[in-house]
Amino acid sequence: MSTMTINGRLAPLPDDPDALLVDVIRDDLDLTGTKLVCGAGVCGACTVLVDGAPVVSCLMPARAAANTKVTTVEGIGATQLHPVQKAFMAHDALQCGFCTPGFVVEAAAFCDSWRRDKGTAIPSREEIGAALSGHLCRCGAYDGIFNAVAAACAGHFDGVDPNPPRVEARQKVTGSAKYTVDIRHDGQLEGVLLRSPFPHARITELDLAPALALPDVSAAVSLLGDDRMVRYVGDPIAAVAAKDRKTALAAIAAIKMTSECLPSVIGLDAARKPDSPVVFEKSSRKKAGNVSEGAGGPAPWKGNVRGPTAAFSQKPKKVRSWVESARQAHDPLLFEATFRTATQSHSCLEPHAAVARFDGDSLTVHVSTQAVFHLMELIAKRYKLGHDKVRVIADHVGGGFGSKASFGIETTAAIDLARAAKAPVRVAFDRHEELSVTGYRPATEIAIALLPFEQGDLKALSLTAHADTGAATNSTIAALARLIYPAQAKQLADYDVVSNLPPGAPFRGPGGPPMAFALEQAIDEAALRMKLDPIALRKRWDPNPNRQRLYDWAAGLDVWRNRKTSAAQTGRYRRGVGVASGYWLYLWQPGVKIELKVEGGRLIASTATQDIGQGSRTVIANTVAHEFGLEPHDVDVRIGDSRLPEGPGAGGSRSTASVIPPTLLAVQKLKDAIEQNARRKPVAGSNAPWREMIAASPDLCVTSVRPEDSKPTAPGIRSPLKDAGFMGMIFGWMLRRFSNLAVGAGVPSSVQVIEVEVDTWLGHVRVLNVQTGIAVGKIAAPALARSQATGSVIQGLGYALYEARETDPRSGSVLSAGMEDYRIPGIADTPAISVHFDEAGFDHVLGGSVGIGEVATVPTSPALANAIRNATGIRLTEIPIRPDRLISALKGRTAA
């Protein structure tokens, strides 16, 4: 038997010629810091050092490691943290942390080599980008990574222990943070799903016996619904549990089934045809998925088209009349266009995964989820168990972005298999499943007409959106245009176009980015036709006080004041500057509780929320520490467990606004209790009175519930739904009643200014810098808020320039189901990003803070498109803005 030395210890290698090094490291040696993500050597998450050289272990045969020295992330900082690990902690060069071990291993090797050759010289962004080009971070932590690697190479962290802004940073940079895919129970089995190869069929017979007859197969269950229908390629049919994945895959292949193939329809254009096959008959429409974060209202259906939902329209007949009259009169101020956006996949690096274990009649489920507490409620309801019999755990979550907010099939399959096998079962999707069947931001087609009055006010806006939702409904795109830029009249209509594709899902600001891509370009075009500064026009048309302050900030930027017009430029390379605005609703979750206690002389804060990278642990720790005059590391924060007091989901930017107010109330309660139980007062003149009182306090515990907000006193601060009249009130009531979400007063807002360089010969767009102004109230964790902001911008740049899910138009199979085929931004794609926080506007919220994750990504794609228009004179109406599309648009123009 061959061996390797791993982290200084001798370890055997399997004789299996198919065994990969990553599997030996993770499964045999339980070194779970090394992550398996793409399986194709694209993302770098599995990087280890082999004889000192970085290697992607997902491609390396285990036998090739014989007689080598292998170092994983656990070995990088085994005796003391490497300067790179310290720098990553100090510069918050991470978010969810799932990709972080791979980055750390590669960066440590680069740093060590750099220091040997060049001492403490600082590498350039280009050199760092080239060194880490084989690594991907879906959260977009690249800006912090640049800074961290540069600082480590410069020797800034030699012998220096950092005070990290993120409380769990050490676990993430050392690989000790445990994610759902890392959970191992004694006797644990591996679950795999059988999925439909058909876009539309009825499964008439399903025989699981051949699978169960195979050795080491412990369970097989059907996942079909009552109608036995499958409506897209990848729709789940059955699941098996076996001793390992290889055996489970063999069992899946052994299942026998008979099916009746039915007519299918794929995609937006085909599904809108009047004679297209119907995906959901009237009796089965409730089986459709949900692409929004809230419960949907009623809407008419016609074939595969659901809609219009037009409740947020305002005098739509006037819009039609005015637009038609302007069209007939060839009014130069009338702008009409059709915009198209592509499907964007969430691409979470940690796949959807669940590990289920029964202990008698009690069920424990580790899940990669955005809703620990709510998922416990849903599981208890489905399986008819008491809440005290179900425990959901998510210690760390490797990204979500909206795709992990529901009760997914990975969880039901793991539970069903665990019950049938009487053993723990893990179900973890592979990368093909993750990129094909776990949801996406739907592609859209948006027709817009914008008409100003001659004197300059906004007269009419028409926006009609068709969303390519697959086997799902409830898109909200056009309706969002009601809550920005008031007009005399607005006609806003949303349509879901259902087809035999996997269902879409909520994705970071659902509906916001495609709406802004169309509307903000229309605003920009209106400014050009009216010969006005685009920021000045927005300031005139948009009365929101948060954005008014951001417009003033943006107008004062040097990059904006010094921009050139396209007519003033010649040559191959043209530079342009664009601006766009965005908003999101201020959402918070009623019923959220925070438990705060003194236990053994330490403060402990607890709530059943989860941290998917947005920093919930740190927000709570910072809030408590600030009120007691302590450091965040003096506070133990316990989250990720449904047995804790009810906590918020991580979606819709609700987390911060949901946890800070009850935390502040709990702090005051606990202070009162400590003082009442104090045997003596702190020493006069003490600079840490609460530290002394907590250390001397008996064990105490208090709980507070998230209160209602106070009434705003600042002018112009109100719920945006009030601007939508009666239907806005109904929408708010529905969100609270059916989704447990409250819409607060005030509007989280963002204004972005982007500078680009366009290669007019090759069609390449290089983003030079991004200035993003964000108004989300007081910043509870500044470094983490900046990371959220820059990561949101990077996802927005991916949406604008690179990302597009490709499907077979005949079968509906997803063709871009590997990370080598689905392009997300890498570190070398990252421009310089400056973040400006405007901290006013939310004084009526206890603590003054609201969420940032959604609003910061909404305006990115239109700001970039407007910059390209400024550089070239070309108005691009389709994303991603690929080189071929840009070259095609430039043909025949002098710019080419």
Tell me: pLDDT of 896 over 80: no
76 in a structural domain? yes
Pair 157, 44 in one domain: yes
128 and 108 within one domain: yes
Model confidence pLDDT, tens digit, residues 629-638: 999 999 999 9
Q: Is residue 92 part of a domain?
A: yes
Residue pLDDT, tens place only, 397-439: 999 999 999 999 999 999 999 999 999 999 999 999 999 999 9
Q: Is the pLDDT of residue 113 over 80?
A: yes
Q: What is the pLDDT of residues 140-175, one digit of tens each?
A: 999 999 999 999 999 999 988 899 999 999 999 999
Distances (CA, A) of 51 to 8, 633, 829: 12, 37, 30
User: β-strand 489-498 against 458-470: which pairing, if any?
Assistant: parallel
On whether the CB atoms of residues 57 and 117 are closer than 8 A, the answer is: no
How distant, in Å, are the alpha carbons of 40, 46, 735, 807 from that of 821?
11, 19, 37, 12
Q: Assess if residue 351 is contained within a domain.
A: no
Please check whether residues 171 and 117 belong to one and the same domain: yes
Does the structure show a pLDDT above 50 at 895? no
The per-residue pLDDT of the chain, averaged, comes to 96
Interatomic CA distance for residues 628 and 668, integer angstroms = 10
Predicted confidence at residue 525, as pLDDT, reads 98
Looking up residue 159, the CATH number of its domain turns out to be 3.10.20.30
Domain co-membership, 129 together with 205: no
- Out of 428, 444, 476, pick the residue that ends a domain: 428
Sign of CA dihedral 291, 292, 296, 301: negative
Residue 738 lies in a domain: no
The Cα 728–Cα 749 span in angstroms is 19
Closest CA to 793 of 834, 749, 851: 834
Beta bridge partners, 69, equal 5
User: How do residues 776-794 score in pLDDT, each as one tens digit?
Assistant: 999 999 999 999 999 999 9
Q: Are residues 676 and 551 in the same domain?
A: no
49-60 tens-digit pLDDT: 999 999 999 999
Of the pLDDT bands very low, low, confident and very high (cuts 50, 70, 90), residue 846 is very high
Strand (E) or helix (H) holding 249: helix 245-254
Residue 606 located in a structural domain: yes
Please indicate, yes or no, whether residues 67 and 212 belong to a single structural domain of this protein.
no
Element of type H or E holding 473: strand 472-473
**Residue 893 pLDDT grade (very low, low, confident, very high; cuts 50, 70, 90):** low
CA distances from 216 to 185, 213, 250 (A): 17, 9, 11
Cross-strand pairs, 593: 705
- Is the pLDDT at 308 greater than 90? The verdict is yes
Residues 41 and 130 in one domain: yes
**Can you name the residues that pair with 256 across neighbouring β-strands?**
207
Sign of CA dihedral 614, 616, 617, 618: positive
**Do 169 and 244 fall within a single domain?**
no
Domain count, the chain: 4
Residue 509 domain-assigned?
A: no
Strands 390-393 and 362-367: parallel
The C-alpha angle with vertex 84 and arms to 82 and 87, in degrees rounded to 5, equals 115
Provide the domain limits for residue 252: 182-262+357-389+403-428
Say whether both 125 and 172 belong to one domain: yes
Q: What is the mean pLDDT of residues 791-811?
A: 97
pLDDT tens for 61-84 read 999 999 999 999 999 988 899 999
Instruction: Read off the pLDDT of residues 182-231 as tens digits, 9 standing for 90 and up.
Output: 999 999 999 999 999 999 999 999 999 999 999 999 999 999 999 999 99
Is the C-alpha dihedral spanning 38, 39, 44, 47 positive or negative?
positive
Cβ neighbours for 668, distance < 8 A, ≥ 6 positions apart: none
pLDDT for the residue 295: 62
| 768/858 same-domain check | yes
CATH number at residue 877: 3.30.365.10
Write down the pLDDT at residue 892. Answer: 57
With respect to residue 690, please indicate whether it lies within any of the assigned structural domains.
yes
Q: Tell me if 336 is assigned to some domain.
A: no
